[in-house]
Amino acid sequence: MYTLVYSINNEPNPETIYINLTNACTNSCVFCLREQKDDVCGAEMWHDDNYTLEDVIEQFKSYKPTPKNVVFCGYGEPFLKKDMMKKFAQYLKENNPEIKIRVNTNGHANAIYKTNVAEEFKGLLDEASVSLNSDNSEQYDEICQPKIENAYEAVKDFLKCCHEAGIKTYASIVTGFDEREINVENCKKIAKELGAEFRNREFITNGY
């Protein structure tokens, strides 16, 4: 069976587990780990989305004791499997309400579905980490190579909507990848204006 649930560094009792719902993405970021390797700590990450909610639950249940954090992340954009994501988050809220649920997302969801997806996940997601990646759309396009129109504006809108939905929201950037200069202070300001906390993640070659 595919890797739908994984942990980092193959810890025996991880506090945090990650959910790999899809390999599809509406970005093609220059620093994406998928371009460098096929696995995370030996777990093969590629799959064709041919699985069920029960498969995700079964893999989740194999982690004991129950982890404290669940993160929708993986080798793709989790919101592209929005219905599956919602069903699994609902399952967790009903069965393990103590678990903190986060999504790491490219922030395109509202633009893709043309509706307020953040609002749909109100009460289901505790945190959203949204990739802002730059303080301007030209550089964003160069770094993320988005497949949707006006992606940078879409990301900023999504950040605001997550905050307004009561989800603890982080705007993230990646620094330290090649020679590119990111205006960190401007990104911080933008995050604040949108109601988000700010996270600067140093690029790590292996990804973790």
Least distance to ligand SF4, CB of residue 28, Å = 5
Q: Residue 170 pairs with which residues in a beta bridge?
A: 129, 197
Q: Does 76 bind ligand SF4 (CB under 6 A)?
A: yes
Q: Which of 28, 36, 136, 175 binds ligand SF4 (CB under 6 A)?
A: 28
Looking up tokens 């103590």 gives 98
Q: Does 22 bind ligand SF4 (CB under 6 A)?
A: no
Stretch that binds ligand SF4, among 6-14, 25-33, 86-94, 176-184 (CB under 6 A): 25-33
Stretch that binds ligand SF4, among 26-34, 49-57, 85-93, 179-187 (CB under 6 A): 26-34
Alpha helices in 78-120 (DSSP H): 82-95, 109-113, 117-120
Q: Measured between alpha carbons, how far is residue 161 from residues 130, 140, 148, 197 in Å? A: 11, 20, 19, 14
Least distance to ligand SF4, CB of residue 33, Å = 7
Kind plus residue range of the DSSP H or E element containing 169: strand 168-175
Q: Which is nearer to ligand SF4, 3 or 131 (CB)?
A: 131
* Separation between Cα atoms, residue 200 and residue 208, nearest integer Å: 15
Kind plus residue range of the DSSP H or E element containing 201: strand 197-202
Q: Does 135 bind ligand SF4 (CB under 6 A)?
A: no
Instruction: Return the SS3 of 98.
Output: coil
Q: Which is nearer to ligand SF4, 58 or 157 (CB)?
A: 157
Q: Which of 20, 106, 129, 172 binds ligand SF4 (CB under 6 A)?
A: 106
Rg of the chain on CA atoms, in Å: 16
Q: Does 77 bind ligand SF4 (CB under 6 A)?
A: yes
* Separation between Cα atoms, residue 168 and residue 196, nearest integer Å: 7
Q: Does 20 bind ligand SF4 (CB under 6 A)?
A: no
Instruction: Return the SS3 of 10.
Output: helix
Stretch that binds ligand SF4, among 22-30, 47-55, 61-69, 192-200 (CB under 6 A): 22-30
Least distance to ligand SF4, CB of residue 35, Å = 8
Q: Measured between alpha carbons, how far is residue 120 from residues 110, 156, 161, 174 in Å? A: 10, 18, 10, 28
Q: Does 30 bind ligand SF4 (CB under 6 A)?
A: no
Q: Which of 8, 14, 16, 34 binds ligand SF4 (CB under 6 A)?
A: 34
Looking up tokens 């790491």 gives 104
Report the interface residues with ligand SF4, using CB under 6 A: 25, 27-29, 32, 34, 76-77, 106, 131
